[in-house]
Amino acid sequence: MKGGAASIGVIGGGVAGLVATYRLLQAGHRVRLFEAGSSLGGLSRTFEIGGERIEHFYHHLFTSDGAAIRLLDELTLLKTVNWRPTTAGIFYRDRVYPFTSTLDLLRFTPLAGVRDRIRLGLVGLRLRRERDASRFESVTAIDWIRRNAGERSLRVVWEPLLRGKFGDKADGVPMTWLWNRIRLRFSSRGLFSQKELLGYQLGSFAVWIDALIKLIKALGGELETNAAVNRIARDGSQLGIETAGRTHTFDAVLATISNEAFLGITPPLGEEYAGRLKSVAYQDAVCLVLSLKRPLTGHYWLSINDRSVPFLTVVEQTNLVAPERYGGRHVVYILNDVTQGSSLGHVTEAQLAALYLPHLKRINPQFDESWVDGRWLFHAADAQPVFTLGAGSRLAGHRTPVSGLYLANIAQIYPQDRGQNYSIVLGETVAQMMIEDLIPGRRRQAPGLNAEPEPYSPE
């Protein structure tokens, strides 16, 4: 270290890596980031529809996304976020059912008895109010829902979603994970609100990514793309990062890549820590994006609770953002989380469209393939960790057994799920940890790490 400033290498140019880089630079360290791909931003990477940038995978903000809201405010970009009430639906047995308000629940006829509907509503209220995650850690989501909401609610509402998302691993998913998902969805509603208030940054969330990259460069940070890391190795008292025949040495290294990718490049970590990393399986994400001449569903979020349909969720972006932003086109994301090695992860855009489009006519009988004037296919490996019972006790710490080597990825945010807010939290948390470790006896807090605020109330 020179003059108290450490040299730090960061592996991975997604949100967590960029935020950690920014906070470490603010603390006075020298940072160089390596990204294997051709662009930065991770799942926030964008392309264009109608001249407007849009993410490869759907993105939105909840009013409870304190870290993201705080960072956007710090970047003077919070006013670029448009907040809009949205609705959700469930597709079940060839019909779309509104599923946003209390009245929607009472009218949800797939649960034949009013008692079942009321019971499901009370369960949702209970989960919304519960704050202690440990109450759900020792029971699977399927068992808890069966016991508390009933067999019919499980089969109609919850089991199709769990099996669609996690496949044959659904039976082991802890209730802690589902509890957190439900709480998060309710967090963007007021006490008496019947709609979910969601935010979207006009121009795409790449706007704040671009602003962060500009600040990183202004602070002297170095960002390398197309720079796959082949190996991390001990180099005396330092750590070396090897990329394409070159070795770069650092006082500390932070990896923001998946457990599997990390295990492939790291020095020996010891059986216990490596076992924690290996205990987490992953699903890959597959997303077909459509540009349509007409609207499809009338809802922002449509859960597909019919497993004869080969996809999990339909997100109609233009029920959150006006179609005029995309040249009058209606933008639809069709999403799947698939087991690694699944055939869906290897098909072409044309093959996937041929598989998916006939089912859109089941969702909207008026749909015709002539509505489609653009199609794009995106993949993301290791996009969804699959947690099983006891996951909380098996999490790998951010400090690895190798001195100076740190790990920060979405497999460590349990029971939270992937999302840019938690990636920001992850980057800030590990940056703070490194700042403390690199200057013994000096506990300097990384900028931005304040207590989580109350849910944001847009004007």
Per-residue pLDDT, averaged over 145-171, amounts to: 91
325-358 pLDDT tens trace: 999 999 999 999 988 878 888 899 999 999 999 9
- Beta-strand relationship, 196-201 and 52-55: unpaired
- Given a cut of 70, whether residue 314 has pLDDT beyond it is yes
pLDDT of residue 127: 87
- Given a cut of 60, whether residue 445 has pLDDT beyond it is no
d(CA 326, CA 46): 13
Phi, psi of 334, deg, nearest 5: -115, 115
- Is the peptide bond preceding residue 401 cis, with omega within 30 degrees of 0? no
95-119 pLDDT tens trace: 999 998 888 888 999 998 888 999 9
Per-residue pLDDT, averaged over 434-453, amounts to: 59
Contact 57, 46 (CB under 8 A): no
pLDDT of residue 419: 86
Nearest CA to 189 out of 77, 59, 87 is that of 87
The residues that bridge with 223 in the sheet, in sequence order, are 33
In a domain, 92, yes or no: no
Q: Which residue has the tokens 């400033």?
A: 5
Does 221 lie in the same domain as 233?
yes
Does 225 lie in the same domain as 211?
yes
Does 299 lie in the same domain as 274?
no
Q: How would you classify residue 28: left for phi > 0, otherwise alpha for psi between -120 and 50, otherwise beta?
A: left
Does 372 lie in the same domain as 286?
yes
In a domain, 303, yes or no: yes
Contact 158, 142 (CB under 8 A): yes
d(CA 72, CA 201): 10
Does 218 lie in the same domain as 249?
yes
DSSP string, 22-64: HHHHHTT-EEEEE-SSSSSSGGG-EEEETTEEEESS---EETT
258-302 pLDDT tens trace: 999 999 999 999 999 999 999 999 999 999 999 999 999 999 999
Does 124 lie in the same domain as 179?
yes
Does 158 lie in the same domain as 233?
no
In sign, the C-alpha dihedral spanning 406, 37, 25, 418 is: negative
- Given a cut of 60, whether residue 451 has pLDDT beyond it is no
How much of the chain exceeds pLDDT 90, in percent? Answer: 71
Contact 385, 414 (CB under 8 A): yes
Q: Which residues contact 91 (CB under 8 A, 6 or more apart)?
A: 97, 302, 303, 304, 305, 306, 309, 314, 362, 363
Question: How many domains, in total, are found in the chain?
Answer: 3
- Given a cut of 80, whether residue 450 has pLDDT beyond it is no
How much of the chain exceeds pLDDT 70, in percent? Answer: 93
Three-class secondary structure of residue 103 per DSSP: helix
pLDDT of residue 133: 80
In a domain, 56, yes or no: no
| Structural domain containing residue 306 | 62-85+197-202+281-386
209-257 pLDDT tens trace: 999 999 999 999 999 999 999 999 988 889 999 998 799 999 999 999 9
pLDDT band at 189, cuts 50/70/90?
low
**Which DSSP state fits 399?**
B
Q: Is 2 exposed, middle or buried (0-12, 13-18, 19+ CB in 10 A)?
A: exposed
Phi, psi of 455, deg, nearest 5: -50, 135
In a domain, 90, yes or no: no
- Given a cut of 80, whether residue 455 has pLDDT beyond it is no
- Given a cut of 60, whether residue 11 has pLDDT beyond it is yes
